[in-house]
Amino acid sequence: MKWILYFPLNTFFTILCYLTNWLVTPFCDERGELHGFLRYWQTWDDSCDVEFFVKERAPKIFRYDFDKHYRSSREYTPELDQYNRDKGCVILIDDNFTLWERIQRYFCRTLWLYRNNSYGFAFYLFGIDADYTQLNERRKDYKNKDWYEIVTGRGFWCNPWKLTGQFGWISFYFGWKLYDWYAPTRYMIAGRVILRKKEQQ
């Protein structure tokens, strides 16, 4: 089974990216894009300059005036066009960054790479080509806000499984991260466990 072979390799590159993201960030171009083999460090479906992350999720000390410098867009790239996918990009409208803004941008880009660590490896190297319309089995159970889903077909599968308890929830993801994408496309490998504490009311 491909997943059994791919998952340890993907884990190796996940660790590699955790160790090196901060070194890779300076190689982004002015639109937050990494090129050549470094694109494997980048989130496949976004540039490293992401509007909502800069404005809302990054620590306040690193938030710069995104709207002054960029405008968000979605574009097809040669790498993704073959998979019927587009990605979030930015259009540079003002490249006059102060030194402090460049420092802020560096940290925003680096934190974004850590947030979506090793997504390029997971998609391009260890992803799988599939057509969601060819699935031959799908099961969901949303009882009591817990959910369990198995999707199989033509050699690909995904098994996200969520358990909710008194103190929070735990999710298991194994297989490939499938979407309701009604055309032949590529799906990234998934293999992670997420623990989250229950929010206080």
For the CA atoms of 124, 127, 133, 139, what is the dihedral angle to 10 degrees?
-150
CB 70 within 8 A of CB 91: yes
Place of tokens 């590159």: 13
Residue 146, pLDDT score? 47
CA 182 to CA 176: how far, in whole Å? Answer: 16
CA 62 to CA 100: how far, in whole Å? Answer: 9
pLDDT 10s per residue in the chain (201 long)?
A: 788 899 999 999 999 999 999 999 999 999 999 999 999 999 999 999 999 999 999 999 999 999 999 999 999 998 999 999 999 999 999 999 999 999 999 999 999 999 999 999 999 999 988 776 665 555 555 444 444 455 554 444 554 454 555 556 666 677 787 776 777 889 889 887 777 676 554
Distances (CA, A) of 86 to 9, 49, 118, 137: 26, 16, 18, 27
| Residue 129 host element (H or E) | strand 128-131
Provide the CA 115 distance to its chain's centre, in angstroms: 8
Pairing of strands 184-187, 168-176: unpaired
Residue 167, pLDDT score? 56
Identity (one letter) of the amino acid at 115? R
CB 54 within 8 A of CB 67: no
CB 42 within 8 A of CB 120: yes
CA 200 to CA 68: how far, in whole Å? Answer: 37
Residue 200: other Cβ atoms inside 10 A: 4
Helices 99-115 and 2-24: crossing angle in degrees, nearest 10, is 170
Residue 130, pLDDT score? 78
Residue 154, pLDDT score? 43
